[in-house]
Structure 1
Amino acid sequence: MQSTTQGSTAEQIVSAVGGPENIISLTHCATRLRFELRDAAGISQPAVESIDGVLGAVPQSGDRYQVVIGGGVQTVYNAIMNLPDMRGAKGALSDADVKAAARAKARGKVAWVDAFFEYLSDSFRPLLGVLLGGSLIIAIAAVLDALGIVPFQGVDRAAEAGATWIFWDAMWRAVLYFLPIMVAYNAAKKLDVDPWLGATIMAALFTPEFMSLTDTAKFPGTTCTTNPTLGTESCVATIFGLPMQLNGYGGQVFVPLMMVAILALVYRFLKKVFPENVQMVFVPFLSMLVMIPLTAFLIGPLGIWLGTGLGAGLAWLNTSAPMVFAIIIPLIYPFLVPLGLHWPLNALMLANIQTLGYDFIQGPMGAWNFACFGATAGVLFLSMRDKDTVMRQTATGALAAGLFGGISEPSLYGIHLRFKRIYPRMLVGCLAGGLTIGILGTLFTSGDVRGVTTGAFAFTSLLTIPVFNPIWIYVVSIAIAFFVAMVLVIISDYRTPEQKAEALAAREQAEADLALATAAPVAATSTATAAAAAPAATATLVATAVVGSPMAGRVVSLDDVEDKVFSSRALGEGVGVVPTAGRVTAPVTGTLVTVPKSGHAFGIKTDDGVEVLVHVGIDTVRLKGEHFDVAVTKGQRVEAGDLLADVNLDGIREAGYDTTTIVVVTNTKAMASVTPITGSDVAPGEPVIEVTR
């Protein structure tokens, strides 16, 4: 059953974005499908968001479009790519091979800013999985340290814990240490450069040969000095008669980002110079010959200086004004993340860990994340109270992704950005959590390290709490952020009064439609029982060959009906009637199995098992019976043409509702054929559907 649902979701998403022919490329990140479309102008965002399994939709500049799925995005992505129509669709490339299509349309005066942050985002996004995995491995180590099992914080961990600890240490440090090579690969791929070329150039600075240049005994030309403030050693080697500053590049991200940006220029120039038949040899060769020395001599030291300088500036603010720093970080993140502008801060976190041995940004950032999750928890509480199944499912998935994965996008795109009342309440939670860190950090921490710090790049979730220090300040702060945001959302609701009323009416409509669709099988059982008890009566049963129009008016296709439930044929094949008179009559002979109090719909079961639904108007359940004068009751037998209700069409229109009346055969799949008769003006009782058993 699950695979069927996923397949249906995949088909609906592809259809909603214009079909395979409208898709240039499709990739995905941790939570979102990322479409590059030929034309995104005609997409209906509410229609996309109404698809089962979709948490939200985010139009972007140009013809880019994102569909938020949550943690199951990989499964939905695979289902889409496995659709027969997608396999033959031009431009529908795999996630591993797709390259960003050239933007054909200008994106305004700040297009370069948009492109810059896309470059940062796409260089990091594919690494989220291994970064999350590494953060959980170090979280386990932190728990073991807290329990006194392994010396996670020990000065000489090799001596204290032995080979076992060193092996465990290697598992998470592999991600951080070789991160520059991974970033170089992704960045090169983003700029349409051979990604292995970018990775190779960065890897040259990680070879044992390069690292051995710091050995002054082996290389007398190398000189090393110790920084008395930081306690770090800086070495300079003489290469080709020129001084080369030697650095440890493990964990550095500014260096590969800068290197690849320059590599892209060199790479494109060389491809223009050399004929295509010799490019495979000379373009990589000359790119390496130019870029490896350039990176070692200039770009590498410059990147180290940039990262260290930015980190030192923030460290100064954190030390000099810890209260201000602890408040600013959680308050700006809610605005940076939706725009993708948080990646520079993520890069600084990694630079801090490599340079200082710890990071001080992630602690206050945790206040924002847990305020975000707290707001989602408030929405979940209200959706459970109001029996809002769709929002409950959305909030449950978003909260699970947040609390256990530290991923905020499902909450942001699936809920918070759709209901504008949430953000002010969430910001109060951010402020409360940041203020708590600032106060407690000022009172209980001192020296150069203020507030909450961590030695790992950790996604701020429940599972990574042990990596933060002091852990008690962090726990108190994120708890306050979480519960303040949650309580504020619960008290004041996340919807406006109009949105709340609309949601309630939609639920009532769905419940009514479900009751109409499911009541007929029950009636079928009772009809069969009655037939068995009185076999002689079967001779008088009326066979159904056609379904008549319940009203006078113009017959239209369900495709033209402005109700996605009916137009999708989810309730069966049928027609719409645009009425010219308000008299509603029975379209067939049979038993009324459903007559809701609102009087807007009638379900009839014929003697030979045809189940017909007459739905007067669209969303008219919200009128709660106003303008409807019902003449029948549930269980009553009616003949074709009998009066069901008199309806005030003008009153319905003045109330803002569409009067199009839908007639469908709800058990269409049980029939041999159900054929609509559309495109004509009809009187009550004239055929609009042909039925073959």
Structure 2
Amino acid sequence: MAGSTASQIIDAVGGPRNVKSLTHCATRLRFELGDSTRVDQGRLDTMPGVLGAVPQAGNRYQVVIGGAVASMYSEIMALPEMKDLAAGSSSSDDDGSAGSGPRSNAEVKAEAHAKGRGRVGWLDSFFEYLSDSFRPILGVLLGASLIIALVNLLISVKVVTGDEANTSLMFIKAMWKGVFYFLPIMIAYNAAKKLKVDPWLGGTIMAALMTPQFTGLSSTSTWKGVTHCVENTTLGTSSCSTTVFGLPMQLNDYSGNVFVPLLMAAVLALVYHGLQRIIPESVQLVFVPFLSMIIVTTLTAFLIGPLGVWAGNGIGVGLAWMNAHAPFVFAILIPMLYPFLVPLGLHWPLNALMLMNIQSLGYDFIQGPMGVWNFACFGATAGVLVISLKDRDQVMRQTSIGALAAGLLGGVSEPSLYGIHLRYKLVYRRMLIGCFVGGVVIAVLGWLFPSVIASGATVHGVTTTAFAFTSLLTIPVFNQMWVYAIAIAVAFFVSMGLIIVLDYRTPEQKAEVLAAVAKRDAERAAGTTAVAGSASAVAAPPASAADHASSSAAPTTVVAAPIDGHVVSLDDAGDAVFASRALGEGVGIQPTASTATVTAPVAGVLQTVAETGHAFGIRTDDGVEVLVHVGIDTVKMNGDGFTVSVKKGDRVAVGDALATVDFDKVKAAGYSTTTLMTVLNTASLGGVTPRTGADVKAGDPVLDVTR
């Protein structure tokens, strides 16, 4: 389809009438659709500018864009066909017909009841609530973490002093402390907006608990005989209580808290929407906010606030205990879990815990191990970049450069995950080893060299007092910075090395890339030759018959059958990819024996040997690249029935054994036994001629290659 990427995305999700709502997070467009079965998943997966598409429960769909998601969202909303959605009206009904303007509350309620959410729809909603409560403030959190990193770096190199008398330093601290001090108000605003409540009302209620009047209640000098305070030796804080309206009220410092505004906003939504149902519309503007403020502020001060602080402190103390008493488990568990949590958006609770730890404990110990995962992820991307440079794969080179820059400088892993890692499943096998080794390093060094926090207490592991996006720029925010730096370096280079040595693609995927590169090079060469030929045609004398005879005597290579069987065309082999000639011209051989030894069809060096024994790539000394693929989809057998006789880098002669295959077992597993053989660099050669329709023995010629 012609048109912009924005219009192509809308078309691929079923058209504008299928879009009920559209929002976006840091990297993804979040659609709520009328009918998710209309989505063209394959088209989205291959669309330029789209890193991936993720279906969710309840007709929800996420399209991963990366760092440019905000501009893509704006482009989509600016499309003429999206004007109804941009204006806030319904863009479709359930039957796909055009909407007729904003729907009434009764219609919306009836639709919600009739829609039948998926079994995990509530879980999707919960994590969307968390995500959308934090997403709008990620920028200021990142900015604050970079300011902290810069300050720590300047102090460490003694450019500035870290004492409280340094007014310049205090001014700079105010820049980032403002973000964390007023974080509850920001989160309350976003959470209320997500729940379709006046966001200023949510921010106002949290602000009330942070005013000098409320915080002054804990001052015993002001309220003698009324306020009682108890020291918490575990957290190094004091807990005070007083009496308001004759009822006991626990007083807390809510600055930097994240649990309380999330709980408060949920209760506010119930109260707010309940009041809207019972108060006449003509006076809702006055009385809904008025009563909501009184009811929810009181509930938060007496109940929700203390409950949120108690829950947050309890979880923080529990994790701190685990970090202190089982540091190896903790330091390895976090980086091993994150690769599976982030793609699903399930990492938000841990992010909330990091902020809670900073508020309650004064430091966080989760971000150190989390940084190990991030750098293992970036190391895998760096390995992909190295291979793409070697293979001259322009598409993957551009993807990996962008993803690596976003990771190393911004600490954002989604471009790597959705652009590369989740598309090539072998990446995870390599990357998880980097996560594990990096976790072991941070566990061992963190135990041997504990850090000392501001209170003077000793903590095992790497800590930080800031919420940091774990990138190269934020390394200075970590206590025991050298321990953290070593751990992330190990994770990065282990993942990178494994990708470079073992590759991130299956033999078929690699062969397809090499074939595409060869085809591109051949087309460029043909274009250059055509231009040169047309320029010299006027001056060139007519060719003689002898010249034609001489030019037609091109060198040839004969490719032999690797097994006994019947030779068929790729069109009849039963695999659409091979039939398309994307992997070059070749033949299929239907084996006659129940067990056979697959032999080398040409002499050369093995460039590829699949661990599963189903595929082999051989390059001859004169540059012919031959792929032998035993069976169709047999990679799914994971080597069962295949015994490999060679390894990558071995030199073989025609007829040398590559593997022994039990074709009866292949049939029993439900897979085709047809063995496919192609010349991968067909496009750069003079020609490849198949010899089909005959019964052959291993070693008989089946392909003639003209160079």
TM over 0.5: same fold? yes
- Could you tell me which residue of structure 2 aligns to residue 211 of structure 1? 215
Give the structure 2 partner of residue 233 of structure 1: 238
Q: Does 1:310 align with 2:368?
A: no
Deviation at residue 525 of structure 1 after TM alignment:
6.7
Contact kept? 1:237, 1:245, Cα under 8 Å: yes
Q: What secondary structure is seen at the aligned counterpart in 1 of 2:118?
A: coil
Measured after TM superposition, the shift of residue 513 of structure 1 is: 6.0
Q: Matched residues in 1 for 2:82 and 2:535: separation?
A: 47
Q: Which amino acid aligns with 2:60?
A: R
Match of 2:326 in 1: 321
* Helix, strand or coil at the partner of 2:36: coil
The 2-side partners of 1:473 and 1:332 are apart by 21
Q: Which residue of 2 aligns with 1:567?
A: none
Q: Indicate the SS of the match to 1:206.
A: coil
Per-residue CA shift, 1:522-560, capped at 9, x if unaligned? 489749x959xxxxxxxxxxxxxxxxxxxxxxxxxxxxx
Q: Residues 164-184 of structure 1: CA distance to partner in whole angstroms, max 9, x if unpaired? A: 112111111111111111111
2:284 is the alignment partner of 1:279: yes
Question: Structure 1, residues 415-435: CA drift from partner, whole Å, max 9, x if none?
Answer: 111111111211110111110
Q: Does 1:36 align with 2:32?
A: yes
8 Å CA contact 2:58–2:121 kept in 1: the answer is: no
Paired residue for 1:75?
A: 71
Q: CA separation in 1, counterparts of 2:89 and 2:339?
A: 32
Q: Identify if the C-alpha distance between structure 1 residues 105 and 401 changes in structure 2 by more than 3 Å, giving closer, same or farther.
A: farther
Residue 335 (structure 2) pairs with residue 339 (structure 1): no
From the superposition, tell whether residues 507 and 88 of structure 1 become closer, same or farther in structure 2 (CA, over 3 Å): farther
| Residue equivalent to 1:130 | 140
What is the CA-CA distance between 1:622 and the residue it aligns to? 6.2
| 1:195 corresponds to 2:199 | yes
Classify 1:423/1:266 alpha carbon distance in 2 versus 1 (closer, same or farther; 3 Å).
same
- Relative to structure 1, the CA distance from residue 496 to residue 301 in structure 2 (aligned partners, 3 Å threshold; closer, same or farther) is same
Structure 1 runs not aligned, ≥5 long: 532-561, 564-596, 599-619, 631-645, 652-693
Alignment RMSD: 3.4
Contact 1:380 1:391 in 2 (8 A): yes
Deviation at 1:408, TM superposition (A): 0.7
CA gap 1:484/1:228 in 2 versus in 1, 3 angstroms: closer
For the residue of structure 2 that corresponds to 1:357, the secondary structure is coil
Match of 2:159, SS state, is coil
**Residues 62, 249 of structure 1: CA spacing in aligned structure 2 closer, same or farther, 3 A cutoff?**
same
Out of 111, 118, 121, which is 1:111 matched to?
A: 121
- 1:647 positional shift: 11
- The Cα of 1:201 is off from its aligned counterpart by 1.0
The Cα shift of 1:310 comes to 0.2
For the pair 1:55 / 2:48, whether they are aligned, the reply is no
For residue 452 of structure 1, report the CA deviation from its aligned partner. Answer: 0.2
- For residues 143-200 of structure 1, what are the alpha-carbon distances to aligned partners after superposition, in whole Å with 9 as ceiling and x for unaligned? 1111123344xxxx422x22x1121111111111111111111111221212111111
Residues paired across the two proteins, number:
537
Distance change >3 Å, CA 16–CA 133, structure 1 → 2: same
Match of 1:545 in 2: none
Amino acid corresponding to residue 419 of structure 2 in structure 1: G
Could you give the per-residue CA deviations for residues 671-690 of structure 1, whole angstroms, max 9, x where no partner exists?
Answer: xxxxxxxxxxxxxxxxxxxx
Whether 1:25 and 2:21 are equivalent positions in the alignment is: yes
Residue aligning to 1:245: 250
Change (3 A) 1:424 1:629: closer
Per-residue deviation, 1:112: 2.4
Is 1:158 paired with 2:133? Answer: no
Tell me by how many angstroms 1:475 deviates.
Answer: 0.3
Question: Which residue in 2 is equivalent to 1:296?
Answer: 301
Distance 1:58 1:505, change over 3 A: farther
Aligned CA distance change for structure 1 residues 59 and 78 (closer, same or farther; 3 Å)? same
Cα distance in 2 for partners of 1:88, 1:107 equals: 25
Deviations 1:84-118 (A, max 9, x none): 33335577799xxx99x986744433332232222
Task: State the AA in 2 paired with 1:363.
Answer: G
Q: Which runs of 5+ in 2 are unaligned?
A: 91-101, 452-456, 540-575, 578-623, 626-677, 695-707
**How many angstroms apart in 2 are the aligned matches of 1:36 and 1:505?**
39
Distance 1:47 1:122 in 2: 27
Answer yes or no: is the 8 Å Cα contact 2:77–2:86 preserved in 1: no
C-alpha contact 1:25 1:93 (8 A) present in aligned 2: no
Residue type of the alignment partner of 2:205: I
Q: Is the 8 A contact 2:382 2:400 kept in 1?
A: yes
Distance 1:408 1:12 in 2: 25
Quick one: which amino acid aligns to residue 127 of structure 1?
Answer: I
Aligned-pair distance for 1:625? 7.7
1:289-438 equivalent positions in 2, closer than 5 A: 289-438=294-443
Checking the alignment, whether the CA contact within 8 Å between 2:36 and 2:60 is kept in structure 1 is: yes
Paired amino acid for 2:476: P
After superposition, give the CA deviation of every residue in 1:340-371 in whole Å (9 maximum; x if it has no partner). Answer: 11111111111110111110110111101100
| Native 8 Å contact 2:141 2:179 kept in 1 | yes
- State the Cα distance separating 1:478 from its structure 2 match: 0.2
* Residues 106 and 448 of structure 1, relative CA distance in 2, 3 Å threshold: farther
What's the % identity of the aligned pairs? Answer: 62
Amino acid at match of 1:404: L
Q: In 1, are the aligned partners of 2:363 and 2:464 still within 8 Å (CA)?
A: yes
Which residue of the other structure, out of 163, 182, 186, is the alignment partner of 2:186? 182
Q: Could you list the per-position Cα deviations for residues 8-31 of structure 1 after superposition, in whole angstroms to 9, with x for gaps in the alignment? A: 333333333333333333322222
Q: Is the 8 A contact 1:509 1:621 kept in 2?
A: no
TM-score, length-normalised on structure 2?
0.70
TM-score using structure 1 length? 0.71
Aligned partner of residue 52 in structure 1, secondary structure: coil
Displacement of 1:476 in angstroms is 0.3
**What amino acid is aligned across from residue 238 of structure 1 in structure 2?**
T
Alignment check: 8 A CA contact 1:629 1:647 kept:
no
Cα 1:229–1:306, aligned 2, differ >3 Å: closer, same or farther? Answer: closer
CA contact (8 A) 1:201 1:291 kept: yes
